[in-house]
């Protein structure tokens, strides 16, 4: 067998069931021969984004694998790999490489060099007998330490060479669980129980560690409310009385209030990265920080008690410490935190109800979110936003229920991620209704992968908020916009979807959104991909700030 075939055998032995790809790379054929299904996307970025979606829902037990060609293919994939890197998502990227003698010769693009800044681990197979050790390091990096893209570049001359099966020498790496020091666990619990107004900041690490039950139990035992970061959304059921909500730069009023006034913040399963796509943490708080990657502790904040280690094991240790300090019931029912949250939530929702239930035309995008909450079986769905205003409108208002019922993503937020991300999600959870919520600008970045969804049978639903422009930038470049039409665009997206084998539904009346969503769920269950083109207006209101409206334009006026 040759080195490429040896790699396919290793992938098979690691339980890889499918790979996303864009031809050509001989691993596609070798994988197919091993019974690993290749799904070709319309663009390398889409293939990477789908691998990302698959990994996010598999909690580091299975990984998205993506195969692409050298040069143009490897160059084209960079945006999506950068996004997976920014969000700490473990994917295996397999770019074909040139023959070894071209690696340092201009203008050849060498992924193993250029990807170093956007990958957790990068390696080239530079000799046939290295395939086993390179792949061992790759799977170790996927399973252990900070998650992130892992790249194995496959030089053409090396990968075409023969290798005896008994020389592959692959060893499958296991997960190593690390736990914080016992004295730090005791200090953390003592500090949290003494605090005046503690809160929990839960990140994606809670989901990846499969620690959502432990998070709930710890919050209930201590009556400490839980905020989730954008990637952490769905780590707690947002109907839970201790749930404050999730945040990008927008969030719920309850979350904002707690973030402002809490004295002790316990970050769990979160890198606590300062980002414009997240809530800010005001100075002066005592910070307790759990995360798997030690290098994230003291990165953006001075941390008082560091709990580096596996998030599930850490929460379990904290739960037993609370029990040993307070007894089995903890302090359940002994604080008025639940009432405080309920009061804030009720007042906030009351002010937002006219927006959420707005029945004017063109449709208010918040009304679409309201209808999603009413018409989806939320526990059995996976919902995601896209870059720009769809993200900030969804974050406070779409109710995440079961773990992974929502995918919050984006630290550089690549427009158009939503469609391929949902194809990957559907591959991971074929029985869930997978829906992405994007603007018409975002559609332009990945719209042709609707055809990938139709062709592959990964039946997803795409909602396009068709406002004919970019509401994300209301006052942006007035001369360029008014004189030259920059940021205006048009399209009959339902018709485009029909041309790609999907069902297109156009909605212009708020009262028709619910039935369109029901129809989409029925069609997806029958294996048919759906696009709902909703004629919306630009909407600038963001939670929890005021209701000021800046944007006056809309194409449908
Ligand atoms: C690849 C990429 N380029 C640029 C951006 C910056 N960006 C964020 S939102 C946005 C406009 C989105 O327009 P649309 O999808 O129509 O949503 P709307 O603003 O109208 O709600 C742009 C250009 C981005 N996120 N990703
Ligand atoms: Mg738009």
Q: What spacing in Å lies between the alpha carbon of 438 and ligand 2's midpoint?
A: 8
Whether 555 is in a domain gets the answer no
Considering the domain architecture, whether residues 475 and 529 belong to the same structural domain is answered as yes
Average pLDDT, the chain: 96
Q: What's the number of CA atoms in the CB half-sphere (13 Å) around residue 77?
A: 39
Whether 16 is in a domain gets the answer yes
Considering the domain architecture, whether residues 187 and 66 belong to the same structural domain is answered as no
**Residue 318 CB–ligand 1 contact under 6 Å:** no
CA-closest candidate to residue 225, choices 182, 179, 185, 268 = 268
* Final residue of a structural domain among 167, 196, 216: 167
pTM beyond 0.75, yes or no = yes
- 552 pLDDT above the threshold of 70: no
The beta strands (E) that lie in 508-552 are given as 530-535
- 11 pLDDT above the threshold of 50: yes
Considering the domain architecture, whether residues 109 and 152 belong to the same structural domain is answered as yes
Q: Give pLDDT, residue 418.
A: 98
Task: Give the ligand with the smallest distance to the CA of 437.
Answer: 1
Q: What spacing in Å lies between the alpha carbon of 463 and ligand 2's midpoint?
A: 12
Q: What spacing in Å lies between the alpha carbon of 130 and ligand 2's midpoint?
A: 49
Q: Give pLDDT, residue 350.
A: 96
- 468: domain CATH number is 3.40.50.970
- 486 pLDDT above the threshold of 50: yes
Considering the domain architecture, whether residues 160 and 219 belong to the same structural domain is answered as no
| pLDDT confidence tier of residue 345, bands split at 50, 70 and 90 | very high
Q: Whose CA is nearest to atom 5 of ligand 1?
A: 415
pLDDT in tens, 108-151: 999 999 999 999 999 999 999 999 999 999 999 999 999 999 99
Question: Judging by beta carbons within 10 Å of its beta carbon (0-12, 13-18, 19+), is residue 545 exposed, middle or buried?
Answer: exposed
| pLDDT confidence tier of residue 520, bands split at 50, 70 and 90 | very high
Task: Give the ligand with the smallest distance to the CA of 416.
Answer: 1
Q: Give pLDDT, residue 412.
A: 87
Considering the domain architecture, whether residues 307 and 250 belong to the same structural domain is answered as yes
Considering the domain architecture, whether residues 150 and 102 belong to the same structural domain is answered as yes
pLDDT in tens, 521-549: 999 999 999 999 999 999 889 999 754 44
d(CA 379, CA 402): 5
Whether 478 is in a domain gets the answer yes
Q: Give pLDDT, residue 243.
A: 98
- 215: domain CATH number is 3.40.50.1220
**What average pLDDT score do residues 422-434 get?**
98
d(CA 14, CA 8): 10
d(CA 196, CA 5): 60
Contacts of 127 (CB under 8 A, 6+ apart): 158
Considering the domain architecture, whether residues 23 and 150 belong to the same structural domain is answered as yes
Question: CB–CB of 457/467 below 8 Å?
Answer: no
Pocket test for ligand 1, best of 463, 470, 473 (most atoms within 8 A of CB): 470
Q: What is the CA radius of gyration of the chain?
A: 24
In order of 130, 210, 290, the CA distances from 17 in angstroms are 24, 21, 33
Residue 544: CB atoms within 10 Å? 19
**481: alpha, beta or left, given left = phi > 0 and alpha = psi -120 to 50?**
alpha
Q: Give pLDDT, residue 472.
A: 86
Task: Give the ligand with the smallest distance to the CA of 468.
Answer: 2
**Residue 418 CB–ligand 1 contact under 6 Å:** no
Of 6-15, 193-202, 478-487, the poorest mean pLDDT is in 478-487
**Residue 415 CB–ligand 1 contact under 6 Å:** yes
Q: Give pLDDT, residue 471.
A: 87
| pLDDT confidence tier of residue 482, bands split at 50, 70 and 90 | confident
How many distinct structural domains can be found in the chain?
3
More confident residue, 255 or 476: 255
| pLDDT confidence tier of residue 556, bands split at 50, 70 and 90 | very low
Considering the domain architecture, whether residues 319 and 385 belong to the same structural domain is answered as no
Of 13-27, 93-107, 341-355, 463-477, the poorest mean pLDDT is in 463-477
Whether 556 is in a domain gets the answer no
**What average pLDDT score do residues 480-492 get?**
91
**What average pLDDT score do residues 370-392 get?**
97
- 299 pLDDT above the threshold of 50: yes
Q: Give pLDDT, residue 75.
A: 97
Q: Whose CA is nearest to atom 11 of ligand 1?
A: 470
Domain that holds residue 246: 182-336
């Amino acid at each position: 067998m040759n080195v490429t075939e040896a790699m396919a055998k290793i992938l098979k032995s690691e339980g890889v069931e499918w790979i996303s790809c864009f031809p050509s790379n001989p691993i596609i054929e070798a994988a197919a021969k091993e019974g690993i299904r290749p799904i070709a996307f319309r663009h390398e970025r889409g293939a990477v984004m789908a691998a990302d979606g698959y990994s996010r829902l598999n909690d580091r037990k299975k990984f998205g694998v993506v195969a692409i060609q050298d040069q143009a293919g490897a160059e084209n994939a960079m945006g999506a790999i950068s996004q997976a890197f920014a969000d700490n998502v473990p994917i295996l990227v397999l770019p074909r490489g040139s023959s070894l003698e071209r690696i340092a010769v201009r203008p050849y693009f060498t992924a193993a060099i250029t990807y170093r800044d956007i990958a957790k681990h990068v390696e080239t197979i530079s000799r046939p007998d290295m395939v086993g050790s390179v792949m061992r390091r790759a799977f170790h990096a996927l399973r252990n330490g900070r998650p992130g893209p892992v790249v194995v570049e496959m030089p053409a001359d090396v990968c075409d060479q023969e290798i005896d099966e008994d020389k592959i020498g692959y060893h499958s790496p296991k997960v190593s669980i690390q736990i914080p020091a016992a004295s730090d666990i005791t200090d953390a619990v003592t500090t949290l129980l003494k605090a005046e107004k503690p809160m929990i900041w839960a990140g994606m690490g809670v989901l990846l560690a499969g620690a959502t039950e432990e998070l709930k139990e710890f919050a209930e035992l201590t009556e400490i409310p839980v905020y989730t970061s954008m990637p952490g959304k769905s780590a707690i059921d947002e109907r839970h009385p201790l749930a404050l909500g999730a945040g990008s730069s927008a969030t719920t009023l309850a979350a904002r209030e707690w973030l402002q006034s809490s004295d002790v913040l316990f970050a769990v399963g979160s890198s606590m990265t300062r980002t414009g796509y997240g809530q800010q943490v005001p100075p002066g708080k005592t910070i307790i920080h759990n995360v798997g990657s030690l290098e994230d502790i003291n990165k953006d904040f001075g941390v008082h008690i560091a709990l580096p280690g596996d998030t599930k094991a850490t929460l379990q240790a904290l739960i037993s410490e609370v029990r040993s300090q307070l007894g089995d019931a903890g302090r359940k029912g002994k604080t008025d935190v639940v009432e405080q949250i309920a009061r804030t939530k009720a007042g906030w929702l009351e002010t937002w109800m006219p927006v959420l239930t707005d029945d004017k035309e063109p449709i208010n995008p918040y009304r679409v979110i309201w209808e999603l909450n009413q018409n989806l079986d939320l526990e059995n769905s996976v919902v995601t936003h896209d870059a720009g205003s769809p993200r900030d409108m969804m974050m406070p208002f779409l109710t995440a229920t079961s773990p992974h019922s929502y995918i919050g993503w984006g630290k550089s937020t690549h427009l158009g991620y939503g469609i391929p991300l949902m194809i990957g999600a559907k591959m991971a959870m074929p029985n869930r209704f997978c829906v992405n919520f994007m603007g018409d600008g975002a559609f332009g970045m990945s719209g042709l992968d609707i055809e990938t969804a139709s062709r592959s049978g990964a039946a997803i639903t795409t909602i396009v908020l068709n406002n004919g422009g970019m509401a994300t930038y209301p006052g942006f470049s007035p001369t360029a916009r008014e004189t030259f039409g920059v940021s205006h665009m048009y399209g009959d997206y339902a018709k485009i979807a029909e041309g790609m084998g999907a069902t297109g539904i156009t909605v212009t009346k708020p009262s028709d959104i619910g039935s369109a969503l029901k129809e989409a769920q029925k069609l997806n269950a029958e294996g048919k991909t759906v696009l709902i083109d909703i004629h919306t207006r630009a909407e600038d209101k963001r939670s929890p700030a005021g209701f000021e409206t800046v944007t006056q334009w809309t194409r449908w006026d």
